A and B are shown apart, each in its own frame.
Chain A
């Protein structure tokens, strides 16, 4: 546990989480959510939970981003609200 690395990773997780919610373009939002998942994976690894980090890297950053991109093809890219 290195607290400087923890602080940087937590700040980046906060920034990417808020950005994924507030950006207007849905495709950008999906890609930022992938970056959020990867940063969460780094945070789990840093805390010593390697098994959870492995699952987060494969499911969160790998497969679910592809699912979101494939789902956005069926709808409009811009949000209306």
Chain B
């Protein structure tokens, strides 16, 4: 469905926009403690930048950089980070997702360990949401070819 059509304006604009969208996604992720935003919105922004790459260029060119095998790894890896942090809190003697006990293995106090734990969970959510939305769009756009 999506083939390269060599439009100079669209390709230049996409090449300029994509780094700023991804930098804004990281900003939304890391400022999610203090302002609106967080893992889900940042993940959707990363997915939007990759979908823009697929639309402006080519499906093959994008899957060369962001292959479907890596996509599947990201899909499971985000859930693994989320569940791993939650189970690590149980193993250290707290409740599920009780981040303050992470201060036993991190060189910070319980309050900072709580902030770092929720940041790790948000990173897991971001990776999974981005990979999931991109894989849905690749399945829609590939037309059953690959």
Q: Which residues of A contact B (CB under 8 A)?
A: 50-51, 53-55, 58-59, 62-63, 66-67, 70-71, 73-74
Contact = CB atoms under 8 A, between A and B. Distances in A.
Q: How large is the interface on B (under 10, 10 to 19, 20 to 34, 35 or more residues)?
A: 10 to 19
Contacts of A53: 36
Given A66-B51, A74-B143, A54 B137 contact: no
B1 interface: yes
Contact of B41 (A55, A66, A67, A71): A55
A67 B1 CA distance: 13
Contact of B141 (A51, A55, A58, A70): A70
Interface of B: 1, 28, 36-38, 40-41, 44-45, 47-48, 51, 55, 133, 136-137, 140-141, 143
Secondary structure of the B contact surface, majority rule: helix
B140 A67 contact: yes
B128 to A, nearest CB: 15
A4 to B, nearest CB: 25
Nearest to B47: A63
B136 A67 contact: yes
